Amino acid sequence: MTARKARLTVTVDAELVAAGNEAVARGTADSLSAWVNEALAARAARDHRLAAMSEAIAAYEAEFGEITEAEMTAQHRADRAAAIVVRGEER
């Protein structure tokens, strides 16, 4: 992000304000503003990734056709079979 900041006024759930203040008290955030800024940056990055994924899926489907439910189920099964269990028990 840039060094230039913009001041804004927002309404936030009290529980979230408390969580931000707790982060500051624990030392995991420099200030409530920094904590909120980090949350907004994470949301913006998430939205950007989801948009990119949506574009990639649309491009794939435009070239190869719509991904079917059966294909997603088959891929899910293949992914589970190839997964390495790192905690808990294998199913």
Compute the distance between CA of residue 35 and CA of residue 20 in angstroms, rounded to an integer.
6
| Mean pLDDT of the chain, nearest integer | 94
Residue 35 CB neighbour total at 10 angstroms: 20
pLDDT of residue 67: 97
What confidence tier does 1 reach under pLDDT thresholds 50, 70, 90?
A: low
Contact 24/35 with Cβ under 8 angstroms? yes
Contact 24/32 with Cβ under 8 angstroms? yes
How many Cα atoms sit within 13 Å of 73 on the Cβ side?
A: 3
What does the pLDDT look like over 49-81, one tens digit per residue? 999 999 999 999 999 999 999 999 999 999 999
pTM of the model: 0.73
